[in-house]
Structures are given as structure tokens and as C-alpha cells.
Amino acid sequence: MVGACVQWLTGMGFALVAVPALALLLGPSQGVALANCAAGVISAVGLVGGWRRVRLTAMVPLVVASACAVPVGTWVAAQLPRPVLLVGMGLLVTLAVLLVMRGLRVSALTGPKGAVAAGAAGGFMNASAGLGGPPLSLYAMNADWTVHEFVPNAQFYGIVVNAFSIAANGVPQLGATGWAIAVAAMVLGAVIGKVLAACVPDGRARQLVLLLALAGGLSTLAKGVGVL
């Protein structure tokens, strides 16, 4: 619910906020699989009104590179024990949040080579930890995309990379009750997010998302270290 709320409130942040909690509640494998499904659905719904603004030429190297990297991420995650996965997820979330907070600019993340690097990193991170967004955010920042450009292209990317991740990781085994709760929570979160979007400034909402994600990343890291 919180992940869907912040996604509708700011256009970003579902995975950053939801993955640490889902990994702790369901375990890394099932948590990532559910995050992939939910993020893909949210991206598809969000793209309904903005698909004409997708820059397909710019997105091709990103999505092709991500598709190639997804199997690698799935394989790596399958080889690691649960405590190591929790530590890895916690570190990835924390690092991603800190990089986005700092607005890191890297010359290597520009042009076609930068798109391939960002896409490959996003595909690997999405399949292994449910976190495909931060590399795309850093690429868009270094390519000087506006928010108007970023949102529909990020949603298109989210549909593609999560579809490949679901194909590689499978669908989580939640049962009818679990799926009903997940869907209801996402719908409620979306409604709350749309209401809050009318009264919460963008800058403050974005800061809240990053702080929630940072807290989740540190909590997951601490849990993983505690059970090593």
C-alpha cells in the first residue's frame, strides 16, 4: 500500500519503498517476485495516458541490455543464501538512494554506451533484488531528461524489465487470500497517493520517498547482518 501510494504521489519509488519490506515479510525470492509483478502492473496503468511520449529510439538500448542481464541477476540470486541476499538488497537500496539523493553525474552514463550500461545494471538489479529503477534514474539525470520526458519512458521501461524478470523469476506463491490482499493494498495505496498528490509539494514528497527507502534499506541490511 505504501509503495503504491508513493508511486502515484511522485511517479517513482514503488520498488525502493516496497522491496525491503517484502523481502523481510516473504523472503528475498518471493518478495522480489511480488515486487516485479506489482511494479509491472503499476507501470502499465501509469503508461495508459502517456504512451505517446515514449522515446522508443532512446529506449531500445536500455531494454535490450536489461533483457540480456535479467537471467544473470536471477542466477546470482539463486546461488546466494537468504542472509547474503538480505545484506545485498539492503546495500543496493541504501546505495541507490544515496546516489539519487546526491544527483550523481557520471560522464559514462551518457549516449548509447551509457544507455547500455544503465539498462544492464537495471536488468540485473531488477531480477536479483527488484530494483531496476535507480540505474534508469541516474541515466536520465545525466542525459538531462525533464520530468515530463522521464515518467512515461520510465513506465515503459518498468513494463519491459518486469515482464522479463517475471519470466525469469516466476510468479510468487501467495494463494488466493495473499493475492487479494496485495491487489486491495495497491488499489488503496493508489487512491491515497492521488489524494495526497493534490496537497503535498513534489519536492517534499520525493524527499519522503527517499527517506522511507533509506530506512527500509538499512533495516534489511541490519536483518541480513543479524542472521549471518
Q: pLDDT exceeding 70 applies to what percent of the chain? A: 93
Q: Would the pLDDT of 75 be above 70?
A: yes
Q: Please list the alpha-helical segments (H only) found in the chain.
A: 2-10, 14-26, 28-47, 56-79, 82-102, 111-129, 133-142, 147-169, 175-197, 202-227
Share of the chain above pLDDT 90, in %: 18
What does DSSP assign to residue 136?
A: H
Query: What is the residue-averaged pLDDT of the chain?
Result: 83
Does position 111 have pLDDT exceeding 90, yes or no? no
User: Is the pLDDT reported for residue 100 higher than 80?
Assistant: no
pTM for the predicted model, two decimal places: 0.80
CA atoms of 171 and 179, how far apart (whole Å): 11
